[in-house]
Structure 1
């Protein structure tokens, strides 16, 4: 997310946006259509984004220290939900002016996050690698690569990294601006090859947005979308970065932007979700607090 504060979208604005974009089903409205009575989901995935944890005073609508209380509450819900895995969609920490300070933020928030689920995945956000290098961040959360794919049950999952400058250099050590987000040629080639080799339905996890153009979007998002569309297997993309609930369907792919956990004071203003995938390919997003729920069949 940028260093600029933005007012979260109101519930009425969100309702109007969904009416305009044509969401197929709101969760809870016709829940029985996605699952046969008594059927258990094939996969349950925890989702959260833009925690921006930092030990510093609030700035605008961002309450950095309160993320610890919000994640503790989320843990109470998610830990007992039999998750298959957990995904953090970027900006896990906020930027700092020194490496040791930013590492301390990461160490502090990583512990309660790790307590939620053993199988965890971290999408790099621009704030995650503002001062830290990618190697430092990934080493601290015990991950080897910033973009990769994996299979669970009948689904294929892809984690993308858009924290590269236009010239291809990776973010780190204050060398980037948040509006210059790109998926470099090497990663695009890997993505196309990965999807071509895969025959399973696929879900993509990203930080910067892939469904549109503008400050919060990946600069070469049209090129990324074409690769996703050409594969014929990608059903949904989950992303963060712009801090407010949003949804678009682009050429048959669901693009769901999750609400930032850091926004506004108080536990009632948190946001996180559980994604359930049924054996027929139906997707149900159960949103908690300020996170909107969805259901797609």
Structure 2
């Protein structure tokens, strides 16, 4: 659970990541515990940071548990979410607005990034149907289109910002230094610490 305070009202949210629900023996129990805790804490929203579950009938019970939470719910694409699907399939199946997107809650602006891109030195390709099982140096990039979107999205809000991603911007994303530069540039442009947290 995380709570960000502002002079007006705190925003409370609950995060779960790498549940791999259908692949672990107690996946249902883990997810059920998370949803129960988030509901009891009356958080404003819940978010999972990737590697959640598949879209097949075997996974439907996990999606049903997830949907028990009555508030807002958000997803981030993880690398293993791309083991069997193309990004468009997964985004549609999970009801996501896009593979990267943003939303507001209270006095904060939340940004979901997608680090599931391959780069071979010439072109960027999104992970799809397990195509990312290649040399590790080619994995985990933020594509240029997404970086341009991130710049614009940050500039459009006056709220403090929180970043969500599956891969750590600093430790895993191969061009994370460029992403960090965008965040730091926006802090300077805004004249205050606008980007306050990043979860992965």
- In which range does the TM-score fall when normalised by the shorter chain? 0.7 to 0.9
1:47 and 2:15 aligned: yes
Residue pair 1:89, 1:206 contacting (<8 A) in 2 also: yes
3-state SS in 2 of match to 1:192: helix
Query: What residue in structure 2 maps to residue 258 of structure 1?
Result: none
- Distance in structure 2 (CA, Å) of the matches to 1:141 and 1:51: 15
Query: For 1:127, what is the secondary structure of its paired residue?
Result: helix
* Bigger radius of gyration: 1
2:39 is matched with which residue? 79
Residue 187 of structure 1: aligned partner? 146
Q: Is the 8 Å Cα contact of residues 86 and 117 (structure 1) preserved in structure 2?
A: no
Aligned-partner Cα distance in 2 for 1:228–1:40: 25
Q: Deviations over 1:6-37 (max 9, x none)?
A: xxxxxxxxxxxxxxxxxxxxx9xxxxxx98xx
What CA deviation, in whole Å up to 9, does each residue of 1:172-193 have, x standing for no partner?
1221137401100000000011
Aligned to 2:197: 236
Gaps of 5+ in 2: 188-193
Moved more, 167-176 or 181-190: 167-176
Which residue is equivalent to 1:148? 101
Q: Provide structure 1 residue ranges, at least 5 long, that are not aligned to the other structure.
A: 1-26, 28-33, 56-63, 95-101, 240-297
TM-score by length of 2: 0.84
Aligned Cα RMSD in Å? 2.2
Runs of 4 or more, structure 1, over 6 Å off, are none
- 1: distance between equivalents of 2:18 and 2:74? 14
- CA displacement, residues 39-62 of structure 1 (integer Å, 9 cap, x when unaligned): 99521111110001225xxxxxxx
Match of 2:168 in 1: 209
Structure ranking higher on relative contact order (CA contacts 8 Å, 6+ apart): 1
Secondary structure in 1 aligned to 2:128?
Answer: coil
- Offset of residue 227 of structure 1: 0.7
Residues 85-110 of structure 1 deviation map (CA, whole Å, 9 limit, x = unaligned):
1110111137xxxxxxx623543321
Distance change >3 Å, CA 91–CA 51, structure 1 → 2: same
How many residues are matched? 185
Q: Is the 8 A contact 1:93 1:105 kept in 2?
A: no
The residue aligned with 1:103 is: 56
Q: Deviations over 1:134-166 (max 9, x none)?
A: 122222221230101111221111000111111
The one-character-per-residue Cα deviations of 1:240-281 (angstroms, maximum 9, x if unpaired) are xxxxxxxxxxxxxxxxxxxxxxxxxxxxxxxxxxxxxxxxxx
